[in-house]
Structure 1
Amino acid sequence: MSELNQETIVITPHDLPLHCSGPQNQAWNGHPRVFLPIQSNSSIECPYCGAVYKLEGEAGHH
């Protein structure tokens, strides 16, 4: 995890496909939008900003 002490962002299957463009930023000053390949009931960290996302539920076909 990144050195920044960030809270985990909890998402549900409704939020898929998961992408990040910097959760602390507006669209114009964030990092490039990156799609994150999260698995069911797991977590993933954005390689650009270190935001941690946790999927609660089944990823299904995403």
Structure 2
Amino acid sequence: MSTTHTQDTQAAVMVGEKDLAGPGAVFCPNPKMTLWNAHPKVFIDVGTTGEGKCPYCGTVYRLEGGARHGH
């Protein structure tokens, strides 16, 4: 996982195939987040569109290489 900044200065977490917790999903909070700002664990689909946003904290997750159509 790595972090980049989007045009609106919101950080985006770049995730690779090894970071997926199932078929095209990541979970938030991710292991690199500190415990004090944790929220309930949610799974976010990044495989369909290549990007997903956490409904709790607003963290944007982007799949390196874009969407994984057909997976």
- For Structure 1 versus Structure 2, the TM-score category normalised by the shorter chain is 0.5 to 0.7
Instruction: Give the alignment's Cα RMSD to 1 decimal.
Output: 2.8
Stretches of 4+ aligned residues off by more than 6 angstroms: none
Q: As a proportion of its length, which structure holds more strand?
A: 2
Identity %: 39
Q: TM-score, normalised by structure 1?
A: 0.67
In structure 1, distance between residues paired with 2:69 and 2:11: 21
The answer as to whether partners of 2:45 and 2:51 remain within 8 angstroms in 1 is no
State how 1:4-43 maps to structure 2 within 5 Å: 5-17=9-21, 18-21=26-29, 24-26=33-35, 29-39=37-47, 42-43=50-51
Instruction: Call closer, same or farther: CA 1:32–1:60 in 2, change over 3 Å.
Output: farther
Aligned residues: 57
Q: TM-score, normalised by structure 2?
A: 0.60
Match of 2:54 in 1: 46
In structure 2, distance between residues paired with 1:59 and 1:15: 17
Which structure has more relative contact order (CA 8 Å, sep 6+)? It is 1
